[in-house]
Amino acid sequence: MNPDLAIVIVNWNTRDLLHDCLTSVYANRGIDFQVCVVDNASTDSSPEMVEREFPQAHVIRSLRNGGFAYANNLGLTTWNLGERDSGGAPHSTLPIPRYALLLNSDTVVPPDAMVQMVAFMEAHPEAGAAGPKLVRLDGTLDLACRRGFPTPQASFYKLFGLCKLFPKSPRFGRYNLTYLDPDQLTEVDSVNGAFMLVRAQAIEQAGLLDEVFFFGGEDLDWAYRIKAAGWKVYYNPAVVVQHVKRASYRHNPQAQYEFERAMWLFYRKHYRATTPRWLDALICMALAVRGGLPLVREMLRRDRVAAPLSPEGV
């Protein structure tokens, strides 16, 4: 019998937070789920902790830190989700679940989170993906838990600070949908990969995460492709999840570069070809200022598939 839910948790040197996350996950009842922890070459004994404290979880030890999308894809294909080999055969013998959940290691979920979110998806058969209300440790809303796509216009408002100046404006506040009530159920463009519940059928149609994104932007790109396949994406604030946020990279200077790079990759992939030249020039200029010389070099490699300059340690 297929499990209801496959949970993929990517970890990089967040052993203690991972322990708290898994403790909260296994406190969930009323739903059949399986957990795969993908460790991105940690040096803090995270895999050993999981194997010792949570033997029911499946652990994948990546020999390199290939990024968030790469690691999640390793986990998803454990259940034959989203990818087949050239002959159409599955990658493993595990049954395909009905839903997959991307869950960050720095989250703590309530004991009814899984059953509530799956019930929401069951009640909304048009939903390809959904996410909960994410709150920071101080109780404030994690703005990234509900997103509009960074269209050229939205990117312009974000890069030039208009979204901060006019957060209640439906026009200028569309990047993080700051004009919406945070307790309002809403169809959105994207939810956050820290807790992103996706229907298996949507994964089969949209494919796996795009590994050209090393860290940041991969959830937006996935949501874009899921919606392009005809599905809807929902923000469901009835479920509230704590999110420490940036636990594994808050002291890493490479992280900010990766976020700016992700914005460039998303813009280039989905919008640049149809953006007016004057607006394209302004967006590229703002990204270059924010991302510095490394991103300028990246942006000049237009005919190459972009790759992280230094994936180690992010």
The 10s digit of each residue's pLDDT in 189-234 is 999 999 999 999 999 999 999 999 988 899 999 999 999 999 999 9
Q: Are 34 and 96 in contact (CB under 8 A)?
A: no
Q: Which amino acid is at 221?
A: D
Q: Are 53 and 140 in contact (CB under 8 A)?
A: no
The 10s digit of each residue's pLDDT in 63-102 is 999 899 999 999 999 998 876 443 444 455 567 899 999 9
Distances from the Cα of 184 to the Cα of 238, 239, 306, angstroms = 9, 12, 38
Query: Consecutive 10-residue runs of the chain (314 residues): their mean pLDDT?
Result: 87 96 97 96 96 97 92 94 52 78 97 98 98 96 94 87 93 94 97 98 96 91 98 98 75 71 89 89 87 84 45 34
DSSP letter at 95 equals P
Q: Give pLDDT, residue 88.
A: 42
> Percent of the chain, pLDDT > 70?
88
What DSSP assignment string belongs to 105-160?
Answer: TTEE--TTHHHHHHHHHHH-TTEEEEEEEEE-TTS-B-GGGEE----HHHHHHHHT
pTM: 0.88
Neighbours of 64 (CB within 10 A): 11
Q: What share of the chain is helix, strand, coil (3-state, %, to 5)?
A: 40, 20, 40
Q: Give pLDDT, residue 87.
A: 41
